[in-house]
Structure 1
């Protein structure tokens, strides 16, 4: 559903929780991002089954940020 600000509200599920995301991106893109995050969290949870949700979320963010910064460095040729 689109509003006057050209933003789309998309409902996604990550780790069994529902989130309503408001974004200028298309719903398909938001769902792809959410699935990527959910998959990364599943991957980490399999290796560390006793992590609580907060720690799992922080570790997932650290892993994604690490991947991003390595790719950015490679692209920029540093």
Structure 2
């Protein structure tokens, strides 16, 4: 259950969400749909953890949910780092290819110039 309350002016949006059966008010400059999505992610994770072990108390479920979210975050950070390294490598490779093109273009132009000169040469 989500109840929306739009604040006026520059004030942040306010939304009430249910997480693990308990209402929480979220206040953020983010749009309400985004806040709702975040709350639903946390609620879903807690529900899944509770299904695996019904004896866990709220605090343990919250800690396990936080660990799962931290794991997701770390994996995404590692993926971003790998992607940044790949981008850097590709940019460097691209610069090398540009230099090769420039060198080959110069060689081609030199060849064309030499060929044009040879056409005018008579035996």
Taking structure 1 as the reference length, what is the TM-score of the superposition? 0.92
Deviation per residue, 1:30-76 (Å, 9 max, x gap): 00100010000111111111000011001100111111111111111
Partner of 1:73: 78
1:60 aligns with 2:65: yes
Partner SS state of residue 12, structure 1: strand
Q: Distance in 2 between matches of 1:22 and 1:42?
A: 23
Aligned mate of 2:16, from 5, 11, 14: 11
Larger RCO: Structure 1 or Structure 2 (Cα < 8 Å, ≥ 6 residues apart)?
A: 1
Structure 1 runs of 4+ with >6 Å offset:
none
Q: CA RMSD in A?
A: 1.3
Structure with the higher fraction of residues in strand conformation: 1
Cα displacement (A) at 1:3: 3.5
Other-structure match for 2:36: 31
Q: Which runs of 5+ in 1 are unaligned?
A: none
Structure 2 portions without partners, runs of 5+: 1-5, 86-123
Match of 1:47 among 44, 52, 55: 52
TM-score normalized with structure 2 length:
0.60
Asked which structure has the greater CA Rg, the reply is 2
Q: What SS does the aligned partner of 2:11 have?
A: coil
